[in-house]
Every structure is written in structure tokens, then in C-alpha cells.
């Protein structure tokens, strides 16, 4: 095997310095592109956040409309319940009114009349 010729230590040092300088220069190129990469990432993140917020706002608007519809429905239902309660009170009042019933029958011994008075008390 042929032996590699020994380089001059000064030339070898200059060669290594040149290699390090090229590597540092490449790092500067990457470093120069970092702000644009960060700006792009921030812009993409901002756009996605705006889209998500718009979606949330749309959902909230739909929820508000739904809540308003439920409130209106509850108002209508409350009116119906009041009307039903008034009807029930009228029926209960009629049932609690004293009633007199008379029945007349013809028996072999002659006519017979029976009178019954009914009253109801409401147990509350």
C-alpha cells in the first residue's frame, strides 16, 4: 500500500479553516432563511386560528338562535298552561258546586219522589 504523503501542517490548518468557514457560511444561509420560515409558520398558524374562531363564532350564533327559539317556545307553552289551568279550575269549581237531583217514580202505591243533594269537597 502506498503511503499518503504528509501534508505541510500549515497547509492542513489552512484547509481545515477553509472547511470551517464554508460550513459557517452555509449556516448563515440557513440562518437568513429562518425569519421567512418563522413568518410563514406564524402566518399559517394565524390563518388556522382565524378559521377556527370563525367556526366557533358561527356555532355560537347558531346556539344563540336556538336558545331564542327555545325561549319563545317556552313562552307559548306557558300561555297554553295558563289557559289549561283556567279550564281545570272552572271544571273543579263546577264539580264542587252543590247539586240537587230529583227522581220521581211511579210505584204500585202511587208516585214517589226522591231528592238527593250532593256536595263535594276538594282535598287539597
pLDDT tens digits, residue range 23-78? Answer: 887 777 777 777 777 777 788 888 999 999 999 998 888 888 888 999 999 999 99
Contact between residue 104 and residue 113 where contact means Cβ atoms under 8 Å apart: yes
Contact between residue 115 and residue 106 where contact means Cβ atoms under 8 Å apart: no
- Res 4: pLDDT: 66
Task: Return the SS3 of 41.
Answer: helix
- Res 25: pLDDT: 78
For residue 76, give the C-alpha cell.
Answer: 307559548
- Res 80: pLDDT: 95
Please compute the mean of the pLDDT values over residues 107-116 and round it to a whole number.
Answer: 92
Contact between residue 78 and residue 71 where contact means Cβ atoms under 8 Å apart: no
Amino acid at each position: 500500500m502506498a503511503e499518503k504523503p504528509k501534508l505541510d501542517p500549515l497547509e492542513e490548518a489552512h484547509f481545515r479553516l477553509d472547511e470551517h468557514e464554508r460550513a459557517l457560511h452555509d449556516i448563515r444561509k440557513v440562518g437568513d432563511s429562518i425569519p421567512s420560515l418563522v413568518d410563514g409558520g406564524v402566518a399559517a398558524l394565524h390563518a388556522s386560528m382565524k378559521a377556527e374562531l370563525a367556526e366557533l363564532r358561527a356555532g355560537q350564533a347558531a346556539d344563540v338562535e336556538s336558545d331564542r327559539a327555545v325561549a319563545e317556545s317556552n313562552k307559548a307553552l306557558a300561555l297554553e298552561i295558563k289557559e289549561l289551568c283556567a279550564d281545570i279550575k272552572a271544571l273543579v269549581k263546577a264539580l264542587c258546586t252543590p247539586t240537587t237531583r230529583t227522581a220521581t217514580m211511579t210505584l204500585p202505591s202511587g208516585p214517589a219522589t226522591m231528592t238527593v243533594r250532593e256536595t263535594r269537597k276538594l282535598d287539597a
